[in-house]
Chains A and B, each alone.
Chain A
């Protein structure tokens, strides 16, 4: 899922300083699961912002709503009525959600309520780790299902590097060495022979370096 974290209250307050009627929009998908932008987190942010504005002597008329998914027009259309009454919208979705709402309401300022971080998983309660870079050319089969492109600080395709310890990365002592994990995993599934092969340089043309990517799948087009 997409993992995000809340913006500090002061930053959020400054974003909407020029507005008197604002709509806070939560998203019911990834950012709800990562406890950053669901209905509940929007509610807590709303309490804080309303109080901060009242103390400043500039009370804020704030409406809050959470939709199922901000990254789909089908769900964004539910915002038409509350958005019409607001001067500005704060999206508590990921960066895709913020932009989808901005496209849908071209005459309305739309601000981000979160900092979108990465594609990751929940390790334990309230701990998320990055697992995927979205490089567009998945090589997980070669590495036993552990991605060195994302999880090795040096993105080594033929690791480990000379600096790794038995278990951890030299760049961050708290981070497990991806190449140690790859070795253990390949050994466990009986595919250590994969390490004999030199992995050629990665084709980065599928990644984001040339700008935003687009996927069209003709078989599903109507």
Chain B
């Protein structure tokens, strides 16, 4: 690990809650680490296991999946399905040696900008403590456009 290493995190954000919460955080001038790249998703239920696994294989250090509060999904149960899928991937990440802690799923509403910021800080700090992904390779990260 180099001394200036910074974790790279992807946040899959649901259009109806987390994405709006991130937007609101921006409007409110709230600060959160620049380590996070947001991917706008129509619903966390649309995030397939392959999307998350592909990101880890390419060397991402951590992933945040942010969906609506339970019972509040625009598509009724997309966030509940996302929870089951992330639980499965977390078990898989532990088994293969990447570590379940690198994947976090949170539930929030569009108005919960402070919670979004708090959760982003939480995963950045967690991953910073864990160190780079064991699959990290700077060459790979350049090829997918990460600094």
Contacts and interface: CB of A to CB of B under 8 A. Distances in A.
A54 interface: yes
B98 A43 contact: no
Interface string A14-51: 00000000000000000000000000100110011111
Interface stretch (B47-55, B67-75, B119-127): B47-55
B95 A47 contact: no
| Secondary structure class of chain A's binding surface, majority of residues | helix
Contacts of B53: 44, 47-48, 51
A212 interface: no
A135 interface: no
B95 A8 contact: yes
A47 B57 contact: yes
Interface in B57-77: 57
11 contacts: A43-B50, A44-B50, A47-B54, A47-B57, A48-B95, A51-B97, A51-B135, A52-B95, A52-B96, A55-B98, A55-B135
A9 interface: yes
Nearest to B88: A44
A51 B98 contact: yes
A40 B50 CA distance: 9
Given A51-B98, A54-B134, 6 more contacts: A9-B92, A44-B50, A48-B53, A51-B96, A55-B134, A56-B97
Given A43-B50, A44-B50, A52 B57 contact: no
Interface string A36-80: 000010011001111110111000000000000000000000000
Interface of B: 49-50, 53-54, 56-57, 92, 95-98, 134-135
A169 to B, nearest CB: 29
Contacts of B56: 47, 51
A32 to B, nearest CB: 16
A218 interface: no
Contacts of A52: 95-97
A10 interface: yes
A195 to B, nearest CB: 43
A76 B54 CA distance: 29
Interface string A89-100: 000000000000
Nearest to A40: B50
Contacts of B50: 40, 43-44, 47
Given A47-B54, A47-B57, A50-B57, A55 B96 contact: yes
Nearest to B49: A44
B63 to A, nearest CB: 14
Given A9-B92, A48-B92, A55 B97 contact: yes
A9 B96 contact: yes
Contacts of A49: 96
A44 B54 CA distance: 9
A9 B95 CA distance: 7
Nearest to B96: A52
Nearest to A47: B53
